[in-house]
Structure 1
Amino acid sequence: MSSDEINTIVIVGGGTAGWLTAANLAKSFNSKVPGNIKVKLIESPDIPTIGVGEGTWPTMRATLARLGIKESHFLATCNATFKQGTKFIGWQNDQHHNQYYHLFTSIFDPTQFNLAPYWLKGVAGQSVPYASAVSAQSALVELGLAPKKITTKEYEGIQNYAYHLDAGKFSELLKEHSIHSLGVEFISANVTDVNLSSDGSIANVQTDTHNKIEGDFFIDCTGFKSLLLGEALGVGFTSIKDTLLTDHAVTIQVPYEHEDSPINACTHSTAQDAGWIWDIGLTNRRGVGYVYSSQHVSHEDAEATLRQYIGDSAQRLTARKIKIDLGYRNKFWHKNCVAVGLSAAFVEPLEASAIFLIEAASNMIADQLPSSRQALQFAERKFNESFMFRWSKTIDFIKMHYVLSDRKSPFWQDNKLSSTIPASLKNALASWQEQSVSAYDFAHVYEPFPMESYQYVLYGMGNKPKNIAANRYTDIDKAKAQFAQVQKITEHLIKDLPEQRALLNKVAQYGFNTI
């Protein structure tokens, strides 16, 4: 074999980013077969992974199925639950009783027939929230119902769904599966140095217990440290602290009061004076955290706010403070190294985009990694273009939540300053003041958030076009029929679907039907 061939991939760093990437690549390259591309992962024994309760996107179902992990095993091992969207509480204004839902899909595909303009014209009824008009899921999650039944096949859903999971346990599951089923070579060591070749690419990494680890291609999953791409290769970091103003999080793991306590069927995101609180229900506990701006609240007051949100039980629970650096590397792929996860970029976890972008990155690496090092430059260019687009769109989408709010505290008012809003978001919002959101707004193949996501947030927050022309959107009868069908399906599902904890208990006992 030529020395120019890519035969060995070395991943530095474990956690969700490292092990999900390792699993995806090893599966794609069939690494357990001798002679195929080998995947090695170096993980420090000194850096524990602490799960705070995290969310995925529905794409994770296809990823886990492809990796050969049974859904019932995943659910039980990771204390995972079903997530059907996000409930935003108090985001519209300072009255905390206001709420809206960002769900994963609508019953009818809006790219085929867009119900939103008809909802805006009042065809669904003047007081019907947008989410309730186009989807059954807001009603289901209010009742704590699951998106499927015990008789539903694994990874299939009667309604679309993702997961809430314990990130630490998820990493351990992926680690075990990667090593024993997919052929990943695991090296427990600390990387002490990164050695470069004469052309500036990475030659090998020096470890404290396994000497030098050679590789043809390297993946940086070392978190905010960005040991390979940032420190060794010198790729700079662009901060977005002047766009997204949060810079810290304080988290607490909250046990349930009773073993049969209800489990939230969606993420709860509750606005606060200097940020927002996430509340994620796992099978054994809740993961609760306050994402905040230290320029607008002290660390002590932020923790006190979180404890007040949790209630009396919080006083005996331990809090953990996390500093977050919001921004992205100026390049994600440079020479023979690509960064995945926190080493590439990070935005606040408002829309659970982190794990999805790890999935997307590892999928693209597997699909685009060339056979020879000479061709790396072409894959590098495509990857960087793709992920610069994805991250910029993710930043815009998260910022939009703040821009649309009418909350009055200094944090929220500072978020509405024109200087903090990307020009691309300003242009989109200006367009949507003149006409409803359209499929033509989302023509790029790598859009991270589809048309429906923007509709749920824009119309949930009360942001509507100034006028819907009377001579347009004239298929009133079809719209009425579809709105009526949504309500009929909702009533049926309420009667048919089980409560979330009841289903998870059954899954733990019996499992789902296999595909």
Structure 2
Amino acid sequence: MKIKRIAIVGGGTAGWLAANHLGRELHGDREVEITVIESDEVPIIGVGEGTVPSIKTSLRKFGISELDLLLSCETTLKTGIKFSGWLDAQRHGAGHHYYHPFSTPFPEGLDLTPSWLLQGRRPDYQDVSIAARLSEAGLCPKRIESPPYEGEVDYAYHVNAYQFARLLARNAQARFGIRHVVGTIIGADRDETGKVSALRMKTGERLGFDFYVDCSGFASILTQQTLRVPFVDKSHQVLTDTALVQQVPFEATAAIPPYTLAQAHRAGWIWDIPVLQRRGTGFVYSSRHMSEDEAVRTFAAYLGRSEADFQPRKIRMQIGFRQQFWVSNCVALGLAQGFVEPLEATSILLTDFTADLLAKNFPREHGDEARLQPHFNRLAQNAWERVIDFVQMHYHLSDRDDSAFWRDCRYGTHLSDLLQERLDTWRLRPPIASDFASRFEMFNVENFLYVLYGMKFPTRGFPVSPKELDSSAAQFVGLQACTDQLASELLPHGHWLRELHAALAAQGTP
């Protein structure tokens, strides 16, 4: 029997990303009907305001114009992440920072790492990365005449999470015919085979569908409450478990950094994300290493606020993911699937990846689920495991020794077997592409190079040929010249954005 009626339980970024992916994939079949059921009583969590460049592929695929994104979501451009204070201040200086940009450190194709190591130097990708230098200068990665979704260096976006979800919703309904029902789901029924058979609404109504996508956030109404799928706890790998969240208005003429700031403190880190009219900030910490009173006090001091009237929103974070993501006729996406702190903008990344994976593996007939589930679950679990490895590595590599938190991150946490093996290997030689056998890992060799050597990771040098040394030196000089030229030509990020909005306002574009 054919699967015709699909329910997406929950809206927000996860629900509407799922709607667009499934809508695009299934739109040609007129018998298929997709419905997003969204409660007006459940607020969007709203911490996932940062994206990575892969979101551009999805937005293009959905038919969303970059101009619409820039105009409707308080959008700013993001060339990467600036990590500040993640190393010992006495060893590396109080102002030490490094960048994890989105662009390759080797646009000419030659990896300079072996040459650096041969000369007894730790690789410094701040010197070689065009994107890192442009980011530090506060420059926009696009020119005025740049085509949509293209720039001089790769980039992603900072967005207002609520407005981004609304943009996705408008597109899904207009382009793919997605139905939208506003209502609060309080539970679900199962049939004699264990499948989800109907949703129980607050009104007393029961809504039945053939297939369900659980995007109900931390509540995980179907995956946890109905299907009782166990949770795989990863708090022994990533110790942070709480976030305080506060929005801060921007001054109209303030500079807008083209990056996310990740500022470390003694029990975690602070995110600082600029969107057009405000900063989204969050104080991430381990409650085992810092009290809530101290966290509020430290966060208030960072923002220059009086502690007396400072009341940030508090979010509990349970790090980990579901033992299975697809069970019977239900797939979990977004926060219903799992959570890891937003250090590398992983929430939207994982949601977008798994929603696309579901769309490409969607069962067309009842009975297809059993054959498609194992593949989906295997790839999704691998993605989650490797993302947690990557986030944990940032903490584990720190040489900070000023608090029990940082000491526990280095010495008191369990590393996965694969991460331990990789770090042992990379002490002997730098990461190479073949270390990442699965193309479905969210982070690849270049991401690891930026973080490893930004954190001063020690790798043994080995001989390289004189020809390679000469080629490396020439490439380094060429990259420096290219960076200098772009730095003289590109506009400041905030200036570019405000000129764009002013020009469109003058044309009468809303």
> By the TM > 0.5 criterion, same fold?
yes
Q: Tell whether 2:359 aligns with 1:366.
A: yes
Alignment of 1:184-333 (within 5 A): 184-209=178-203, 211-256=205-250, 258-312=251-305, 318-333=311-326
Q: Secondary structure at the match of 1:268?
A: strand
CA contact (8 A) 2:187 2:222 kept: no
Equivalent residue, structure 2, for 1:6:
3
The match for 2:434 among 436, 440, 451 is 440
Is residue 229–residue 337 contact of structure 1 (8 Å, CA) maintained in 2? yes
Q: Which of 98, 101, 120 is residue 100 of structure 1 equivalent to?
A: 98
Q: Which of 443, 468, 479 is 2:472 aligned to? A: 479
Q: Please give the alpha-carbon distance, in whole angstroms, between the structure 2 residues aligned to 1:318 and 1:352.
A: 25
Provide the secondary structure at the position in 2 that maps to 1:350.
Answer: coil
Alignment correspondent of 1:169: 163
Within the candidate set 57, 75, 89, 2:70 is matched to: 75
- Identify unmatched segments of 5+ residues in structure 1: none
Q: Secondary structure of 2:368's match?
A: helix
Q: Does the 8 Å contact 1:92/1:407 carry over to 2?
A: yes
Question: Alpha carbons of 1:94 and 1:420: their partners in 2 closer, same or farther (altered >3 Å)?
Answer: farther
Match of 1:336 in 2: 329
Deviation at 1:394, TM superposition (A): 0.5
Q: Which runs of 5+ in 2 are unaligned?
A: 505-510
Structure 2 CA distance for aligned equivalents of residues 48 and 504 of structure 1:
29
Q: What is the CA-CA distance between 1:106 and the residue it aligns to?
A: 1.8
CA 459–127 in structure 1, closer or farther in 2 if over 3 Å, else same: closer
Instruction: Give the letter for the 2:343 counterpart.
Output: L
Q: CA 1:492–1:73 in 2, change beyond 3 Å: closer, same or farther? A: same
C-alpha separation between the residues in 2 aligned to 1:472 and 1:14? 56
RMSD (CA atoms): 2.0
Aligned: 1:429 with 2:427: no
Given that 2:270 and 2:281 are in contact with CA atoms closer than 8 Å, whether structure 1 keeps it comes out as yes
> Which letter maps to 1:221?
C
Counterparts in 2 of 1:390-405, with a 5 A limit? 390-405=383-398
Matched with 1:420 is 414
Q: Deviations over 1:269-295 (max 9, x none)?
A: 111111001111111011111100011
The separation in 1 between residues aligned to 2:122 and 2:488, in whole angstroms, is 24
1:392 corresponds to which letter in structure 2? E
Contact 1:53–1:280 at 8 Å: present in 2 too?
Answer: no
- CA–CA distance in structure 1, aligned partners of residues 306 and 61 of structure 2: 41
Contact conserved, 1:196 with 1:204, CA < 8 A, in 2? Answer: yes
* Contact 1:245 1:415 survives alignment (8 Å): yes
- Partner of 2:270: helix, strand, or coil? strand
Report the CA distance between 1:264 and its aligned residue: 1.1
Q: 2:144 aligns with which of 150, 158, 173?
A: 150
Decide which of 387, 396, 407 is 2:400's aligned counterpart: 407
1:349-388, aligned counterparts within 5 Å? Answer: 349-388=342-381
Deviations 1:130-180 (A, max 9, x none): 2322x2111111111011012111111121000111111111221222223
Three-state SS of the structure 1 residue aligned to 2:59 is: helix
* Partner secondary structure for residue 145 of structure 1: coil
Contact 2:116 2:122 in 1 (8 A): no
Aligned residues of 1:51 and 1:169 also touching (Cα < 8 A): no
SS at match of 2:367: helix
What TM-score do the two structures reach when normalised by structure 2? 0.94
SS for the counterpart of 1:373 is coil
d(CA) in 2 for partners of 1:233, 1:285: 40
Partner Cα distance (1:103, 1:195) in 2: 47
Aligned residue for 1:23?
20
By how many angstroms is 1:411 displaced?
Answer: 0.5
Contact 2:261-2:272 within 8 A present in 1 as well: yes
Mark the CA change 1:195 to 1:140 in structure 2 (over 3 Å): closer, same or farther: same
1:470 equivalenced with 2:468 (yes/no) = no
Measure, in 2, the Cα distance between the counterparts of 1:198 and 1:417.
49
Secondary structure of the 1:366 match is: helix
Bigger mean CA offset, 80-89 vs 166-175: 166-175
| Whole-Å separation in 2 of the counterparts to 1:296 and 1:473 | 51
Q: For residue 83 of structure 1, report the CA deviation from its aligned partner.
A: 0.4
Conserved in 2, the CA contact under 8 Å of 1:267 and 1:278? yes
Deviation by residue 1:295-316 (Cα, 9 ceiling, x = unmatched): 1111111011111111147876
On the 8 A contact 1:72/1:508 being kept in 2, the answer is no
Deviation at 1:503?
1.1
1:210: Cα distance to partner?
Answer: 7.7
Q: Is the 8 A contact 2:81 2:262 kept in 1?
A: yes
**Contact 1:144/1:263 (CA < 8 Å) preserved in 2?**
yes
Q: Percent identity?
A: 36
SS in 2 for 1:351: coil
Change (3 A) 1:128 1:443: closer
Equivalent residue number for residue 504 of structure 1: 497
For residues 306 and 473 of structure 1, what CA distance do their matches in structure 2 show? Answer: 51
Residue identity in the other structure for 1:92: L
Aligned partner of residue 452 in structure 2, secondary structure: helix
- SS for the counterpart of 1:249 is strand
Please tell me whether the aligned partners of residues 196 and 330 of structure 2 are also in contact (alpha carbons under 8 angstroms): yes
Which 10-residue stretch deviates more, 222-231 or 88-97?
88-97
Q: Distance in 2 between matches of 1:400 and 1:413?
A: 14
* Helix, strand or coil at the partner of 1:100: strand
Q: Indicate how the Cα distance of structure 1 residues 424 and 64 shifts in structure 2: closer, same or farther if over 3 A, else same.
A: same
Checking the alignment, whether the CA contact within 8 Å between 1:254 and 1:317 is kept in structure 2 is no
Q: Which amino acid aligns with 2:451?
A: V
Shift of 1:419: 4.6
2: distance between equivalents of 1:344 and 1:321? 21
CA 1:227–1:48 in 2, change beyond 3 Å: closer, same or farther? Answer: same
Q: Distance in 1 between matches of 2:341 and 2:348?
A: 12
> Secondary structure, in 3 states, of the residue corresponding to 1:358?
helix
Q: Which amino acid aligns with 1:103?
A: P
Shift of 1:50: 5.1
Amino acid paired to 2:225 = E
Range moving further from structure 2, 471-480 or 166-175: 471-480
The letter for the 2-side match of 1:6 is I
How many equivalent pairs are there? 501
Deviation at 1:510, TM superposition (A): 4.0
SS of the residue 2:343 aligns to: helix
Deviation at 1:348, TM superposition (A): 0.8
